[in-house]
Amino acid sequence: MVESKQQWKAWLYLAPAIVLLLIFTVWPIINTVAMAFMEDYSGLAKIGGDASFHFGFGNFVKVAQNAEFKQALTNTIFLCLITVPVSTVLALLIAVALHAIKPLQKALQTIFFLPYVTNSIAIGMVFAAMFNVIGSVGTRRPLISSYGIVNDIIRFFGGNWVNWINSGSDYWANMFVLIVYIVWNALPFKILILLGGLTSINKQYYEAAKVDSTPRWRVLTRITVPLLSPMLAYVVITGFIAGFKEYTSIVGIFGESMGPVHEAHRLNTMVGLIYDSLASNNQGRASAAALILFGIILVVTLINLWVSKKRVHY
Amino acid sequence: MSQSTMQVMHARDMQKTSGRQKILKFLGQFGIYLFLILMAAIVLFPFYWMVISSLKSLAEYRLSPPTFWPMQVLITNYADAFTTASLGVLFKNTMIVGVISTLLSLVITVFTAFAFARLEFKGKELLFAALLATMMIPGELFTITNFATVTNLGWRNTYTVLIVPFLVSVFYIYLLRQNFLQIPNELYLAAKVDGTSDLKYLWKVMVPLSLPTLISITILKMMGAWNSYIWPRLVANDEAHRLITNGLRNAFTDTTGDVNYPVQMAAVALVSAPLFLVFVFLRKYIMSGVSRSGIKG
Amino acid sequence: MKIVLQNLTKIFPSRNKKSHEEVVAVNNFNFEIPDGKLIGLLGPSGCGKSTTLYMISGLQKPSSGKIFFGDDDVTELSTENRGIGLVFQNYALYPHLTVKQNILFPLQNLKGKDKLDKDTMLNRAYEAAKLVQIEQLLDRKPSELSGGQQQRVAIARALVKMPRVLLLDEPLSNLDARLRLQTREEIRRIQKETGITTVFVTHDQEEAMSISDMIVVMKTGIVQQIGKPQDVYDDPANLFVAKFLGTPPINVFSGRVKGGTLYIGGDAVMDIQTVADQEVTVGIRPEGFVLDDNGPLKCKPTNVEVMGRDVSIVSTHDASLNPLVRSIVNADSKIDIGSEYVRYAVKPHKIFIFSKETEERIYFEVK
């Protein structure tokens, strides 16, 4: 509206952001893509990295052939496929329940949001403590002083204790602990978004359903879920994206070894793999792995969008 | 049967069904509360376990069956935790990085959002679209090259490396620009008529009117510094510059086996405490910021 | 302070990138606004009146032409150096500041030798508040005020720096009907008291007519007529102006002049010897009709509306370009709605004829 001849003024306001973005966002995009195709290259020129390289798909081949890559991909996909639906359904139920009550609503809402404002490494350590067995596990005659609170609860109800995360623990037991922690961590954001969606649904639909004496369950499946579908699509898509980038939850519980003592790296994920390559000064392989991850996320997001286009009612 | 008795019967039926409905409704509400309170207990349990474990002696912690309230409250665990993990240095480092990066980030975000919301220049729409497009790319992709860049710049193990690379957040710019756009353009014109400079208008009108968003950004940015783990571990994992999350993980490398859990839990509680305080007092801003984002920290 | 607009033109580049058509928002506007007057810029939306106001304010720069305040050429001067007060249509009050802080805001921007000390600023703010009668609201926030009160605050904020020129953009459009009447009187009073040359923009002809010293009627960027409201009403320059001014609006008929006589349909309404034979458009103000049993204009009555002092007769006529013909006559007149025709004589100074092609006024003398 105001006609300013001083275009440079706008650029002055933009300058700090643009300079920083050029260095730390634009250049990395170009460089990382380039490095992915440069074999035997290290980007660390100053500290004596080898500058010789040749172009090719070698990095991608190496990443794909790496046994740990297959393990990491399996872990990541498995975690996504379980945690996203479980946390979404749980969050939906909690959000609908929260929406249906008046007293205590605010207090409960606050409690359910609490896990969001936590440090995932720190609380991961708490989960480890809860599942940990103190004593000599995995030996012939285990000598145990404490089974950990989770096992104590299981034993209280007459079950057998499980070696969740200690040396000699089962892969599926590890995965179960991770799933519990990731779901616990993912709930608050989903509840917040879904509850926001619920409050924006016009009350008249519910009044109409009441007039027709629609049972509660039918109201949920036939009215709430369809009307909430844009929000559901949103939390599922962001859930998948976050799921594919899972890393710190595992560091929190298992430490940087990414696995129980007897089998480190067993629980590594895609992101973990990228940082491993980086730590071993293999920029090309890290770049290739990052591009593969980007590709997977893109494909999964597109599939999600494609599915939701058919199912989501806007 | 006379008509009046029929009416009476009918009324009694109505009473009966409405009574049954009341009971059903009550049971329904009861079920909902039961479900919510059970879920809330599960959500809260790790926090509870963290706190009570941090107050137990090691011997008591190892008791089986466990105690659900410490027999003897042991505050000394906190002192031990503080020295074991040298939390003092970690707190200081994290505060320095958090405060400086938040302040600088706010200034950059305000300027950039203002230019996009109120000033006219060639290529504005295109540039903004390009910025938004970068949000789709996973951060790991940037980290790889940035790691090389900061190494070549000789920034490893400095505060700079923890602050500068993440000063610009496209998401915060987007958030604030949307907020700025909601402020009617007439206010800007009115200020022009009154001879207000762009900077003064920004400071006196735009910033106060967008305060809630700016507070949200501040909190999320501070939380981001507090919770950041991957980048600091990569580029500044020396004693002098280590941040709180890394320090915590480094101080207690063993997660399984025979660990001194009370002290570890005390450390975890100390690290979590500031987050809880922020949450208790500024919940509104966090929740509104988060509900528009989905970005953690 | 008189304001001179000289060949003022504003051309906007086309918004559609494919076609390079330009939009001429204001076309060659010449006008000398006398000192201390209240001027209404009037026209339908898109006529260029707001653009003209914004060019006077300096928020928009003219494509060509010049603007003078007194003898100073201010064309190239930026807004803040022109010494104007501007009241926006939606008031543009800073929502986070109190009424007092809003009024003080322009004063706090003054720099150098114009800088005021705190007491002077407060005094000036209080004076301005008193002028618009909001001195009891100084500590409220804009959201706690009614529309009319917000309007007054906006005016006070515009006046507090003692502008050379006061500009008002659709000042009454956001108020309800009753407040509108009250506020326009208020604006008139404030303008009279301060004597500041004031220009305001409106699309409401009644509003412009009621308080302006002079009105400027605009259409598609071109000034149609400038003059005192009553003069413009009584003596419109063209059909557009005649139709735009007046409630109820003027009645328009298609007619022709033949042999010195003006015909509306088959009715020979009037002798006008000075006009050559041609097709014309005829406008008759509602108050220009006189009931006359032998009158030349024959209409079919459909309805009579009594409005206190006056009576409005609604009728139809084959040559009318509007669906209905509306006349306003004295309430004492006897009207027989049942009769087939109502016959009118026409007051000569309330009838205007316009060229059918150019829609320009054709002047005539009545014998």
Other Cβ atoms closer than 10 A to A104: 14
A234-243: average pLDDT = 89
- Exposed (0-12), middle (13-18) or buried (19+): which is A99, by Cβ within 10 Å? middle
- CA pair distance A58, A49, nearest whole angstrom: 19
- Tell whether the model's pLDDT for residue B223 goes beyond 60: yes
Percent of chain C, pLDDT > 90? Answer: 45
CATH number of the domain bearing residue A67: 1.10.3720.10
Whether B84 contacts B265, CB under 8 Å? no
The tens digit of pLDDT for each residue in B148-175 reads 889 888 888 899 999 999 899 998 998 8
Chains near B (3 or more Cβ pairs under 8 Å): A, C
Q: Could you please state the CATH topology (level 3) that the domain comprising C3-243 is classified under.
A: Rossmann fold (3.40.50)
Residues B193, C95: C-beta atoms closer than 8 Å? no
- Can you list the alpha helix ranges (DSSP code H) found in chain C? 49-57, 99-108, 118-131, 147-159, 177-194, 205-211, 229-234, 239-244
The tens digit of pLDDT for each residue in C11-46 reads 988 766 556 678 889 999 999 999 999 999 999 988
Residue among A2, A19, A1 nearest A11 (CA)? A19
E runs forming strands in chain A: 38-39, 54-55, 134-136, 143-146
The tens digit of pLDDT for each residue in B51-105 reads 999 998 888 887 777 788 888 888 888 988 888 888 889 999 999 999 999 999 9
Chains near A (3 or more Cβ pairs under 8 Å): B, C
- Tell whether the model's pLDDT for residue A202 goes beyond 90: no
The whole-number pLDDT of residue C16 equals 61
Taking contacts as CB-CB distances below 8 angstroms, the residues of chain A near B64 are 144-147, 152
Phi, psi of B158 (to 5 degrees): -135, 170
Contacts of B285 (CB under 8 A, 6+ apart): B212, B215, B216, B219
- CA pair distance C260, C104, nearest whole angstrom: 66
Note down the domain range covering A82: 61-311
Whether A184 contacts A165, CB under 8 Å? no
The tens digit of pLDDT for each residue in C313-348 reads 899 998 999 899 999 987 776 676 677 788 898 998
- B24 close to A (CB below 8 A): no
Shortest Cα distance, chain A CAs vs residue C59, angstroms: 6
**From A21, A114, A274, residue closest to B140, measured CB to CB:** A274
pLDDT band for A283, please (50, 70, 90 cuts).
confident
Residues B193, C86: C-beta atoms closer than 8 Å? yes
- Tell whether the model's pLDDT for residue C196 goes beyond 90: yes
Residue A260 lies in a domain: yes
Q: Which tokens go with A177?
A: 């602990």
pLDDT band for B297, please (50, 70, 90 cuts).
very low
* Cis peptide preceding C301, ω within 30 of 0: no
- Tell whether the model's pLDDT for residue B258 goes beyond 70: no
DSSP state of C66: E
CA terminus-to-terminus distance, chain C: 45
**From B65, B151, B227, residue closest to A152, measured CB to CB:** B65
Percent of chain A, pLDDT > 70? Answer: 89
CA terminus-to-terminus distance, chain A: 34
Phi, psi of C86 (to 5 degrees): -130, 130
The whole-number pLDDT of residue B296 equals 37
The tens digit of pLDDT for each residue in B184-217 reads 888 888 888 888 888 899 999 999 999 988 988 8
- Taken as a whole, chain B contains a residue count of 297
Residue A266 lies in a domain: yes
Beta bridge partners of C311: C306, C329
Angle at CA B89, nearest 5°, toward B88 and B91? 65
The whole-number pLDDT of residue C361 equals 92
A170-190: average pLDDT = 93
DSSP state of A133: -
The whole-number pLDDT of residue C281 equals 93
Residue A15: strand, helix, or coil: helix
Phi, psi of B72 (to 5 degrees): -135, 120
Whether B145 contacts A43, CB under 8 Å? yes
pLDDT band for B1, please (50, 70, 90 cuts).
very low
| Radius of gyration, alpha carbons of chain B | 28
Residues A121, B249: C-beta atoms closer than 8 Å? yes
- Exposed (0-12), middle (13-18) or buried (19+): which is C99, by Cβ within 10 Å? buried
DSSP state of C314: E
Backbone torsion region of residue C66, taken as left when φ is above 0, otherwise alpha when ψ lies between -120 and 50, otherwise beta? beta
The whole-number pLDDT of residue B295 equals 41
Q: Model ipTM? A: 0.86
Residue among B142, B204, B202, B200 nearest B177 (CA)? B202
Angle at CA B51, nearest 5°, toward B49 and B57? 90
The whole-number pLDDT of residue A313 equals 64
Q: How far is CA C113 from CA B200, B266, C116, C117, in A?
A: 19, 63, 8, 11
- CA pair distance C367, C346, nearest whole angstrom: 14
Size of interface A-B (CB pairs under 8 A): 293
**What DSSP line would sit under chain B, residue for residue?**
--HHHHHHHHHHHHHHHHHHHHHHHHHHHHHHHHHHHHHHHHHHHHHHHHHHHHTS-HHHHT-SSPPSS-SS--THHHHHHHHHTTHHHHHHHHHHHHHHHHHHHHHHHHHHHHHHHH---TTHHHHHHHHHHHTTS-HHHHHHHHHHHHHHTT-TTSHHHHHGGGS--HHHHHHHHHHHHHS-HHHHHHHHHTT--HHHHIIIIIHHHTHHHHHHHHHHHHHHHHH--HHHHHH--STTT--HHHHHHHHT---SSS--HHHHHHHHHHHHHHHHHHHHHHHHHHHHHHHTT----
A208-223: average pLDDT = 76
| Radius of gyration, alpha carbons of chain A | 25
**Residue-averaged pLDDT of chain A:** 84
Q: What pTM value is reported for the model?
A: 0.79
Q: 3-state SS of C267-302? A: EEEEECCCCCCEEEEEEECHHHEEECCCCCEEEEEE
**From B46, B112, B229, residue closest to A17, measured CB to CB:** B112
- C60 close to A (CB below 8 A): yes
Residue A281 lies in a domain: yes
pLDDT band for B50, please (50, 70, 90 cuts).
very high
- CA pair distance A155, A151, nearest whole angstrom: 6
The whole-number pLDDT of residue B257 equals 61
Residue A244 lies in a domain: yes
Interface of C with B (CB under 8 A): 57, 59, 79-81, 84-86, 88-92, 94-96, 105-106, 109-110, 157-158, 161
Shortest Cα distance, chain A CAs vs residue C10, angstroms: 13
* Cis peptide preceding B65, ω within 30 of 0: yes
Shortest Cα distance, chain B CAs vs residue C84, angstroms: 7
C174-186: average pLDDT = 85
User: Pairing between strand C214-219 and C38-42?
Assistant: parallel
Whether C139 contacts C99, CB under 8 Å? yes
Domain ranges within chain C, ordered by starting residue = 3-243, 249-362
The whole-number pLDDT of residue C213 equals 94
